[in-house]
Every structure is written in C-alpha cells, then in structure tokens.
Structure 1
Amino acid sequence: MAKASRRKSQSFLHGALILTASVLIVKLIGALFKVPLTWVITEDGLGYFNTAYNFYGPIYSLATAGFPIAISRLVSESCTRGAYRDIRRIHRASAPIFIGTGTVGFALMVFGAAAYARIIGNESALPALYTLAPAILFSCLTAIYRGYYEGLRNMYPTAISEIIEALSKLTVGLSAACLILHRGMKEYEALGTVFGVAAASRDYARSAVLPYAAAGAILGVTVGSALSFLFLFCRHRLLGDGITEENLKNSPPPRSMRKTVSRLVRTAVPIGVGAMAVNVAAMVDTTFLQTRIHNVMEQNPQVLLSMYQGMIPQINIEAHTVPNFLFGCFSMALTLFMLVPAVTQAFGISALPNVTAAYTRGEKTHLKKSMEAVLRVTALFSIPAGMGLAVMAGPVARLVFGARPSLPITSHVLVIMGVGAIFASFSTPVNSMLQAVGRVDLPVKLLAVGLTIKVALNYFLVGIPQINVLGAGAGTLACYFFLTVAALTCLCRETGILPDFLSIFGKPLIASILCCAAAWSARGLLSHVLTENLSTLGGVGAAVLVYSLSLLCLRAICRDDILMLPNGQKIAKILEKHGWIR
C-alpha cells in the first residue's frame, strides 16, 4: 500500500454534507440520464429497465449480505478504541468474502433471469437482465472500500465513486440506448426487419427494438460499477487509508483473522437480511404489479381500459403489454419518489460512525444530540420534499417527463408516493442508528413485518380493476409508515432517550404546509401569464423561499447542527446575530 497521510475524520453533518452534495450531483446526472431515457425508450422500455433493476436488487443484497454496513460499524468501533491493526485486518478479511459472494450473485442472476421473466410474463426484459448481471460482482468489490472509508469517517471516496458511476450511466447508457434504437429503426426503414426479424409496422418495429434499447441503457450501469471499483481500488493503492505508522505502532494487538471474520459475519447477516428485504419490496412491486394487472386484463379489461382511455397506446393493448406499460408509468413516479430517500440515505451513512462512537463511549448526552441531529436534518429535508411531490404531483411530472398521454397515471401514483417518501426518508437513518447501538436484528424484524404488509396490500389492491397500479403506491406508503413509527419506538426504548419530537417534526411540518400553499398559489397565479413548465418552476421557487423564511422565523435550525458544518462557527455567528437559530 502507498504511504498514508494523516487521517482526518468528519463530523456527522460534515460527512452528511459531503454525501448529500454527491447525492445531489448524482441525482442531477441521473435526471440528465433518466428523463431523456424516458423520452427515448418510453414507458415500455422503462418497464424492461426497472424489471431488470428490481430483480438485481435482492441478489445484490444477498451477495453483499450487509457487509458494507458491518465493515463501517466495526471499523468505526475499532477507530474509537484506537485499534488500527484491527481496522486493517477487517479490510483484508472482507476482500475474499466479497469476491466469493459477488461471483455467486453473478451466477444467480445469469441462471435465474429466464425463470423470473417467465414468472412475471415479461420475457422481453431478458436482454436487460443479462446485461446487468456483471454489475453484481463489481458492486460487491466497490462495497468493500465504501464501507471501509465510511467507517473511518471519510466520505469523499464514496462520494467520488458514486459520481463516476452516475457519469458512466449517463454517457454509456444513454448513448447505447439511442444507438441501438437508431440502428434498429434504420434497419426497419431499409429492410422491413428488426435485427433480422420481420416487423408488421413501424409501431411493431419500435416495440421490438425497445427491449434491446433498455439493455443498452443498463449497460451504462454495469460499466459504471466497474469504473467505480477501479477508482476505489487505485485510490486505496496510491493514497492509502490515512492510518499512519505511528497509529499502528501504538495500536493494541489485532484479533485473529478467524475472530475478525466471525465478527463480520455475525454483524453483517442480520443487516444483510434487512437490506435484502428492502430490495425484495421493490421486486414485489415489479412482480405483483405486472402479474396482477395481467390477471385484470384477462378477466375484466374493460374497467381498466375505460379508466385509462387515451392514455395507453393501442400497440400495447394489441401486443398484450399493458402490464409492462403501467409498470413503466409506476417507475416514472418511483424515479421522483426515490429522490427524497436517496438524499437522507446519506444522513444514515454519515450518522452510523458518530452514533457508534458515542454509544461505545457511553456518552448519553452526546448520543442524544447525535440522534436528534440525524432526525432533525432528515425532517428538515424530507417533510417539505415529500409534501411538495404530493401537492404538485401533476405539474412536477409534466415538468420532468413532458406532456404525454400517460401523465395522469403517473401523477395519481405520485400523490400517494409523495407522502410515502416522507416516511421512506426516515427508514435508513433510523435503522442505521439502531445498528449503531448494537441492535442489528431489529431492522430485520421490522422489515419482515413491513414487507408482509406491502405484499398483502399489493396483491389485493393491484388486483382490483378500479385501483390497479395505485395499489402499489398504497402498499409502499403503508409499509414505510409502519417501519418509521416502529423503528423510532424501538430506538427510544433501546437507548432510553426520548428526543424532542415536537421540535424535530413540528416546526418543519408547519413550514412545509406554508411552502406547499405558496407553491400551489404561485403556480396558479403564474399559469395565467407563463407557460405550464415556467409556472411550475415559479411555484417551486416560491416554495423554497417561503420554506427558508419559515424555518428562520420558527427558529427550527439548531446551533449545534450549524457548528458541525465546515466553517460552521462563522455561519452560526451570522445567524445568531439575527436571532434565527437556537
């Protein structure tokens, strides 16, 4: 390994700020990928794309088995004790584990893809499924380094690797999708065939190309995971981990390799089961939404088709691909829904080493402050974002995806999913804190119950013709509502700490109600003089302004949170001068 510079750790909010900044950059890049991709491959292609992704999720979770979080937690714990030799041993022990599980995961996806596609009745998703398979191995190898550096409270490697991954998805994925679609349609125009198979019309030709265009988009994900691993591997070899020779010299003797592996496995397995349950939840949407709507189309298609008259293209009805089309509409709503918990996931990653350190040292006052900081920052972002998505569902969907016949379907789902995004945002941070205080089993148990709720609601609600795709949104909302309330209850019980919930949730809720009212009113007024999209942007701008002013007037921001930011002392002084923080 190359020389190691002096190690510098980051506070919770500093680390969260780094990860949040990277998430925002990644999401911006993701929007530049996903939005044009939706225009290129439409709802059908997006259905194939997300079918592959949601099958990939549980297998990836099974392959990693919670080891990234386990590595982060054990490295943080060892760092608190000054056991730097243990930290190095943890890293060495994790490499062969991930190579083995990544290879098994790759094989599972390759050999299980065909069976899964047959079960959900969507064999056109097979090209995308096969293209995504190698990403499991590369993602497993990437997870070794991300968990390791996060445990050392250095969020920069994770942040940079995520940006590399997103840029690859944008450049490679979007280019490949456009190229394949162009080549396929060019062949049809010249020969009347698509990749050697005759097509009856232009619509049928485009429908035949879309599965391969979706696979081209997925190729960007696979290449991105490979480049992300390559960056982390080279960075570790060249720059090291920041642990100095002096740190190692003063460190106590390390645990044996056998004990290290045993600790990793004991910590990782419960976390891995929980993480797998989250990804299984996504696969539940994919499976039940398509299979149950397929049943509706066989038994009572008139109700659904009249409900969405003019929104579903005739080619989908004739080709019997309505389930995949509606899953594509749901996927569009899911894209916007995931923006909110994706940001707060950074808070959970950054919180884990800090809460672990406070709990390990037995500092109850510091532990309470750390818990409240995580919950407060999560609430400040998630409540207005989720409520805003619900209130402005139609205009936001139009702004992002453009005016398209299927927009009302996506908008109705997004109203429900917007509220669900608030509760989903708390899931990762609260579960991370439970894991940080040693209760890695509780998130697993709670997720098992939440997943049962989701499966039951999806199965019954999606199968009702009048509800159909909206049932998947309702199942998501109910699942995350239960998980948030139950996890917070368990966290308070395990730590013996009762955070100031009224202040944490009350003030952001009041400010969010005001900002949503401002958004709706401003958009309505501006729509008389501006275009639809410009009036929506004006409404969003008014919401941000009103929300910021409301937070300052309500003194919802805490001085301790500001101090954890880079140059927080200067910022705190300015805000204190005007009486805007407490």
Structure 2
Amino acid sequence: MKNEFTEPRPSKLLKGAAVLALAAVVTKLLGTLQKIPLQNIGGDGVFGIYNTVYPFYMMIVTFATAGFPAAVSKFIAERQVLGEEAGKRSVLRMASLIMGLLGVAGFAMLYFGAPLLSRAIGSSQLLPALRNAAPALLFIPLTAALRGYFQGLQEMVPTAVSQVTEQTVRVTVMIVLLLYWTGVGAADDVIAGGAFAGSAAGGMAGLLVMLVFWRRSSGQRESTAPSRKLGAASQIDIPDRAKGAGEERGTKLLAAMLAYAIPVCLAALAVPLLSLVDTFTLPRLLQSRGADELQAMVEVGIYNRGVPLVQLVTMLASSLSVMFIPALTELRMKNDPVGIQRQTTLALRWFWLIGLAASTGLALLAQPINVMLYEDDLGSATLAWIAWTAAPGALVTVSAALLQGLGHVRAPALHLLAAAALKTALNALLVPPLGITGAALAGIAAYGAAAALNLALLARRTGRARRGASAALAQLLRPAAAVLAMAGAVLLVRLGAGALPLGGGRMAALAESLLGVAVGAAVFAAAVLRTGLLSAAELAALPRVSPRLVAALRRLRLVR
C-alpha cells in the first residue's frame, strides 16, 4: 500500500517547494496589486491612512507568526521520523497555545491601544483602521501554527491553499467594503477602517481552510496509525539523541521551541522595519510643514503610490534568489571557493541588472505610469525618486540570500536595522524642507547602505575583498552603456507618444507606459548581451534556465 514513506524524500521536498513558491507568488501579487484599486476607489487620503497603519500591523503579524511556524515544522518533522503521534500532538498543542496567546495579546494591543498608537504616530485619522485591523490577529497566529504542522509533515498543499484563500478573501472583502463606504459618502478614516476589515475576513478564511485539512488528516491518522507507526519503527534506525528530542514535554518543549523560534522571528522583523520608520515619522514631519492631519494622510498616500511598483521588483528578486541558496549551500559543503565566487558574482550581476533596468524604466516612465494606475500625475517626481530604491533593494534581497547560503543568517537583519536607523535620521533631516520627496531620498540612501553592508560582508566571505573598492565600483558602473541605451529608447517612445494624437487620460498613459516598458526592456536586454555583461556560459549556468534560451540568443547573434 502506498503511503508517505514510499515517495522519495527529495521528490516530495521539490514538489512541496514548487507548490509553496507558486502560492507565494500568487499571494504576493494579490497583496501588492490590491493597493491600486484601494487608491482608485478610496483616494489618496484613504490610501495614506491604510499605508500608515499597514506596516505596524505587519510588524505585529510578523512577530506573532515568523518564528513559530518554522519551529513547529522542525519539531513535527523530528517526531514524524520517530513515528510519535503523541509527540506531534504535544508540539501542536504547545504551539497553538503560544500562538493563541500571542494573537490575543496582539489584538488587545492594537484594539485597546489604538488611541495611544494614533497619538504616537500623530494622527487621529488612524483610529478606525487600527481597530478594524486587530481582529485578524485572533486568526492568523493559529493559522500559522497549523501551517507549520503540515510543513513538518512535508505536506505543502494545505499551506498553499490557505495562503491563496486568505489573500483572495481579504482582497475581495476589502474591495466590496470600499465600494460600499465610498458609495454612502463615508469619511476617509471610516473607509480605510473598512479596508482593514478584509484582513479579519481573510484571516478567518485561512484558518477555516487549515482546520478542514486538519480534520481530514486526523481521520486518516486514526485509520492508519498502527501500521504507519510500525512501518516507521521498522525502517528507521533512531539515534538516542533523536529519541530524547521526541520525549520533550511541557516547559522543556516550550523552551526548545522558543530557542529555535526567537532568532528566526528577530531576523524577519527587520524586513518591515523600514516601512515602519515612515509610519512613525512621516505624519508628524509633514504636519510640521503646515499640513493638517487629513492633508498629511493624503501626502502619505501620494508618497506610497510608487511603493507597490518597487515591491513587485523586490518580489521578483526574492522569488529568483531562492534558486541560488541550495546551489551555494552545496558549494560550501564541498568547500569549493572558486565555485562560490563564480556563483555569487553571477547572482549579483544578474540582480543588479534587473534592479537597474527596473529603476531606470520606472523613473523615466513615472508620469504615464502614475496616470495609468492612479488617474492623475500627483507626486510623479516623488514616484521617480522612489523608483531608484528598486536597484539597491534587489541587491539587498540577493545578497541576503547569498549570505544565508553561506551560513550568515543574522547579518542581513542587523544591516537592515542599521538602514532603518539611517532612514529615521534622514527622514528627520530631509522631510521638513523637501516633503515626501525627502522621504524618497532617505529610502534610496537606506537601501543603498544595507546593500553596501551586505556586499562588503559577502566580499570578505568569498575572498573578493582583496580586489578592492575600485574593482567593485567598476562592476557597478559597467552597465552604464546599457542603461544609457535603454534611457534613450524610452525617451524616444515618450517623445513619439507626445507627438501622436493619443489624447489624454488613462488609456493614452496605458499605451505610452506599456510601449515604453516593452521597448526599454528589449533595448536593455540586447545591450547587456551585446556588451558581454552576461555571456552565454553565464546564462547557461543560471539554475533552471533552458539551453534553448542560449541557443535562440546565439541565432540572434546577441551572445557568443
């Protein structure tokens, strides 16, 4: 009879990784793109309130869910090997208790502490959004515990289905409530609060999906438990140390789980920290320029127009960077410094080119993209500056992944903490005279600093530090010709669009934006290949890149 022990472990892991990767892409796309109808329906005031509260909400969610699912997965996997059903139940009970308590604490802090938080941020407009975001915390931590349980069993489908369901319900409910509250003429703070109610609905849906999978798996375990336990015991030679791990209970189990979960949690908290800096500084700093509370929220909304576009680039970089981690880990285990240096050089060059192309294109097409997505061109100059965070942001993402592959897990988080401190100082310095453009400039500097710190550590660990700063600078400046070619092509498209009788409005901006992106990307890619920034050998070395791509580029004489 076929059971979970008959399928080869690598095959199961690869299938699970593919399922989770696909789910992550879908959920991130939904989460990022939902901000466009949010602004279109609610306006910049609602958009500003939402984006001021969202980083704080995500910080609490991350704190409650980042570390424990990984810990649950690890401890469940150990007990699965031992065939200990009682041990797995103990882990899940402990995790559910802790996650439930964290969820209740987060709910209480966000709901009952909403007046205090809104005063600390500097805007009473945030009160309904803070309170409506709070109920989601009653569901999301428990969902995370169950996801960790199934991941420990190498069953990734429940997590993937739950993630997609949660995000789909959240976005759907948010849009429905946005349409309702704007239809009845509600105030901006009420509309933003309604948008956050979608988070609670999505959290509840995600938990219900996990409970359905849990109930189904419970029934299967009851019918097959004796034979599975016998099979596990007969096939696996269990070391004494593993047996001791399986017997942990109560406070010992709690201490072991906390010891594993807390470092992971602290590392994850660094990621939303840069956005949280703007939450606590921008409203007050904008009010110091003479804006009232609502006007400050409108300006925050305009500032955040460019953020979803940069997040798409970061999401792409994050998804692609995963390909390099296992390859780098394998090279490290084989003690192959030449291979490590080759792989890191290729990855950094690849992501620097992606980020640079994205930043250049977004900056040059800021005005038509702004009109296409948000109906008007308010804040186009600020959007153009925010676009330049995509290039250092891509480097931060890939360098962090490479450092993780080399065994340095905490360093990227510490570097982001330093970048957050720099962002805070620069916001205070630049926002009073420059407004939201000052915040965008502070973001470029902060991401640039984090990227520089990661790259410096990576150079030391891969033996590239001896090549010196001049060589590193030369590597960064090498794509200048490709960037100039791309800029020229995009500017020609914009001049041509201005000369054609396309009229105004969003459709004309849509045509100009899409044509500019297509032409700019094609010219940049051709220039990169013709100037030898990426060779055929390097393209062939990229994980999962088909040889057919290299063959097609050779036929076009773009690579040698």
In the superposition, the TM-score normalised over structure 2's length comes to 0.78
Question: Which of residues 337, 356, 381 is equivalent to 1:383?
Answer: 356
- Aligned twin of 1:439: 408
Give the Cα separation in 2 of the matches to 1:156 and 1:385.
Answer: 33
Task: Indicate whether 1:549 and 2:526 are aligned.
Answer: yes
Contact 2:318 2:398 (C-alpha < 8 Å) held by counterparts = yes
> Which segment drifts farther, 368-377 or 164-173?
368-377
Q: Percent identity?
A: 26
CA RMSD of aligned residues (A): 4.3
Given that 1:563 and 1:569 are in contact with CA atoms closer than 8 Å, whether structure 2 keeps it comes out as no
Contact 1:337 1:418 in 2 (8 A): yes
Which residue, out of 380, 395, 398, partners 1:429? 398
Cα displacement (A) at 1:383: 2.3
| 1:470 maps onto 2:465 in alignment | no
Q: Which residue of 1 aligns with 2:287?
A: 294
User: Who is 2:378 aligned against?
Assistant: 408
Alignment CA distance shift 1:575-1:17 (3 Å): farther
Residue 166 of structure 1, CA deviation = 3.3
- Measured against aligned partners, the alpha-carbon deviations of 1:281-338 in whole angstroms (never above 9, x if no partner) come to 21220221101111221xxx6xxxxxxxxxxxxxxx6xx5211111111122222222
- CA distance change for structure 1 residues 165 and 519 in 2, over 3 Å: closer, same or farther? farther
Partner of 1:526 in structure 2? 497
1:150–1:350 contact (8 Å) kept in structure 2: no
Note if contact 1:61-1:272 (Cα within 8 Å) is conserved in structure 2: yes
Cα distance between partner residues in 1 of 2:16 and 2:476: 23
Number of the residue aligned with 1:214 = 192
Of 262-271 and 144-153, more deviation after overlay is shown by 144-153
- State whether structure 2 residue 519 is matched by structure 1 residue 539: no
CA spacing shift, 1:323–1:103, aligned 2, 3 Å: same
Q: Is the 8 A contact 2:95 2:145 kept in 1?
A: yes
User: Is the contact made by 1:23 and 1:342 (CA closer than 8 Å) also made in structure 2?
Assistant: no
* Corresponding residue for residue 46 of structure 1: 47
Give runs of aligned pairs for residues 10-49 of structure 1, distance below 5 A: 25-26=26-27, 29-30=30-31, 33-49=34-50
Q: How does 1:324-363 map to 2 (within 5 A)?
A: 324-348=297-321, 351-352=324-325, 355-356=328-329, 358-359=331-332, 362=335
Are 1:564 and 2:544 an aligned pair?
A: yes
Aligned mates of 2:16, 2:556 — CA distance in 1: 27
Secondary structure at the aligned position of 1:106 is classed as helix
Deviation at 1:178, TM superposition (A): 0.8
Give the CA deviation at 1:268: 3.9
Kindly indicate whether the alpha-carbon contact (under 8 Å) linking 2:423 and 2:443 is maintained by their aligned counterparts in 1.
Answer: yes
Query: Measured at CA, do residues 534 and 441 of structure 1 come closer, stay the same or move farther in structure 2, by a change above 3 Å?
Result: closer
SS at match of 2:270: helix
User: Given the superposition, is the C-alpha separation of residues 22 and 547 from structure 1 closer, same or farther in structure 2, using an over 3 Å criterion?
Assistant: farther
Stretch of structure 1 that moved more, 506-515 or 4-13: 4-13
Given the superposition, is the C-alpha separation of residues 427 and 105 from structure 1 closer, same or farther in structure 2, using an over 3 Å criterion?
A: farther
Provide the residue aligned with 2:182 in structure 1. 181
Cα distance change, pair 61–563 in 1 and its aligned pair in 2 (3 A): closer
Structure 2 CA distance for aligned equivalents of residues 162 and 413 of structure 1: 33
Give 1:44 shift.
0.8
By how many angstroms is 1:127 displaced? 1.6
In structure 2, the partner of 1:492 is 459
Q: What is the Cα deviation at residue 456 of structure 1?
A: 0.5
1:458 to 411, 414, 427: 427
Comparing 346-355 with 167-176, greater Cα deviation is found at 346-355
What CA distance in whole angstroms lies between the structure 2 residues aligned with 1:96 and 1:372?
45
User: How far apart are residue 408 of structure 1 and its match?
Assistant: 3.4
Q: Which runs of 5+ in 2 are unaligned?
A: 221-227, 503-507
Amino acid at match of 1:540: V
For 2:474 and 2:317, the matched residues in 1 are separated by 19
Distance (Å, rounded) in 2 between the aligned partners of 1:179 and 1:233: 31
Give the corresponding residue for 1:63.
Answer: 64
Aligned residue pairs, count: 524
Deviation at 1:237, TM superposition (A): 6.7
Deviates more, 1:149-158 or 1:484-493: 149-158
Please list, as runs of the form range in 1=range in 2, the aligned pairs for 1:566-581 lying within 5 A after superposition: 568=546, 571=549
SS in 1 for 2:408: coil
* Contact preservation (8 Å) 1:91, 1:144: no
CA distance in 2, matches of 1:511, 1:17: 34
Paired amino acid for 2:298: F
Is 2:64–2:102's contact at 8 Å kept on the other side of the alignment?
yes
CA distance in 1, matches of 2:146, 2:323: 15
The match for 1:313 is none
Preserved contact between residue 13 and residue 561 of structure 1 (Cα < 8 Å): no
Query: Any conservation in 2 of the 1:340–1:386 contact (CA below 8 Å)?
Result: no
The correspondence for 2:272, drawn from 263, 268, 279, is 279
2:204 to 226, 251, 254: 226
Give 1:190's aligned residue: none
1:493–1:415 distance in 2 versus 1, CA, 3 Å: same
Letter in 2 for 1:124: Q
Aligned to 1:139: 140
Matches of 1:538 and 1:570, distance apart in 2: 27
Change (3 A) 1:20 1:137: same
**What's the CA shift for 1:390?**
1.7
The letter for the 1-side match of 2:190 is Y
Which whole-Å deviations, capped at 9, do the CAs of 1:436-489 have from their partners, x for residues lacking one?
A: 44333323332232111111111121122xx01112112211111111110122
* Structure 1 gaps, min length 5: 186-205, 302-316
| Contact map agreement 1:117 1:125 (CA 8 A) in 2 | yes
Amino acid at match of 2:388: V
Q: Give 1:130 deviation, angstroms.
A: 1.5
CA deviation after TM superposition for structure 1 residue 365, in Å: 5.7
